[in-house]
Amino acid sequence: MVHAYAESTRECYGSGLLVFHVFCDSKLIPEEQRAPASHILISLFISEMAGHYSGKTVSNYVHGVRAWHTLHGVPWTLGGDTEIDTLLKAATSLTPPSRKRAKRDPYTIPLITSIRDHLNPNDPLDAAVFACLTTLFFTCARVGEFTIPRLDAFDPNLHVKPSDVRKTHDRQGLEMTNFHLPRTKTALEGEDVFWAKQSGTSDPEEAFRNHLSVNEPPAEGALFSYRYKNSHRPLTKSNFLKRLANATKSAGLRPLQGHGIRIGGTLEYLLRNVPFDVVKVKGRWASDAFIIYLRRHAQILAPYMQETPALHEEFLRYTMPPVR
């Protein structure tokens, strides 16, 4: 049952469980009253955290306590409890300013180009970092799907490898590079992501070809492994983001968060007038949640808002087909 939860989710839930037991210890709650957790106990737990943690953190911690019940076969009777739901909404309203995340700015092609200018394409680490950056951007993938959490954490059954890469063509002969992700946070059986050759210095194909030439990663090793001394070292998430931040600072720019890469890729395709539903499929979004990440709404929606839609007839024909 533990394997039903992604590793990052288990870490978050573990933190929540620790906070729950510290809370219970501070209130002298006996062990036998902690599970199954009563309505009043969880209500008090939420109320105690509200105003100190973000609403999302409070919700995750409660879900951690629920997961603990599930894993130990203890009934969780608070599903659909309207008072608990109301308290969680209140916790969101009471999120202190210091706990609120700043909006994640998107990576852009000009930013990627600036980063490239401050990386050495012949350096093993830099070659792997830039190839990983362009692949993440044009596949709209999560950083953790192409990097490794720790140096000793590579697992060929979980992480993408050179042997998971192949070329594909459509009926018109258009070429795509396909990456099979053996397992993702939302798909335990794996998913495929892909990009096509692009123009300019942000081209993922050229960056990937350079990485393969400089590093020659093992077929069954981490895809973005780079040469280190007399062997190969997998590209970890922390090392990847650190090198990106240093290159961005060298360019005289402010470093962005890693999630901004996926947001930026999504935004880039939308600005190219790719329909929303196509971008949703490309980015493997299970819901319309990706819309909250969008910036530059005016530019994206401009073709839909014109007084003379005939000027955009070709665009509208593809993005808004007639109702049948």
Domain-located, residue 114 = yes
Is the pLDDT assigned to residue 310 strictly greater than 60? no
User: Does 132 lie in the same domain as 78?
Assistant: no
CATH of the domain at 134: 1.10.443.10
The pLDDT value recorded for residue 6 is: 76
Domain-located, residue 7 = yes
145 CB neighbour count, 10 Å cutoff: 21
- Looking at 263, 290, 312, the residue that finishes a domain is 263
Backbone torsions φ then ψ of 199, nearest 5 degrees = -85, 155
The pLDDT value recorded for residue 263 is: 86
Q: What is the pLDDT of residues 237-282, one digit of tens each?
A: 999 999 999 999 999 998 888 888 998 898 888 888 787 788 888 8
Taking the C-alpha atoms of residue 91 and residue 46, their distance in angstroms, rounded to an integer, is 7
Is the pLDDT assigned to residue 63 strictly greater than 70? yes
Q: What is the pLDDT of residues 128-181, one digit of tens each?
A: 999 999 999 999 999 999 999 999 999 999 999 999 999 998 888 889 999 999
Taking the C-alpha atoms of residue 53 and residue 142, their distance in angstroms, rounded to an integer, is 25
The pLDDT value recorded for residue 280 is: 81
Domain that holds residue 39: 2-99
Cis (ω within 30 of 0) for the bond into 255? no
Edge-to-edge strands, sheet with 175-181? 165-169, 175-181, 191-195
Question: Is residue 103 very low, low, confident or very high in pLDDT (cuts 50, 70, 90)?
Answer: low
* Residues 225, 212 contacting (CB under 8 angstroms): no
Tally the domains of the chain.
Answer: 2
Q: What is the pLDDT of residues 74-99, one digit of tens each?
A: 999 887 778 999 999 999 999 888 77
The pLDDT value recorded for residue 170 is: 81
The model carries a pTM of 0.75
In this prediction, residues 24-38 reach a mean pLDDT of: 93
User: Does 132 lie in the same domain as 90?
Assistant: no
**Count of alpha carbons within 13 Å of 24, Cβ hemisphere only?**
19
Domain-located, residue 308 = no
The pLDDT value recorded for residue 211 is: 98
More reliable by pLDDT, 324 or 8: 8
Domain-located, residue 271 = no
The pLDDT value recorded for residue 316 is: 52
The pLDDT value recorded for residue 183 is: 86
Is the pLDDT assigned to residue 312 strictly greater than 80? no
CATH of the domain at 58: 1.10.150
183 CB neighbour count, 10 Å cutoff: 17
Backbone torsions φ then ψ of 192, nearest 5 degrees = -110, 140
Is the pLDDT assigned to residue 104 strictly greater than 70? no
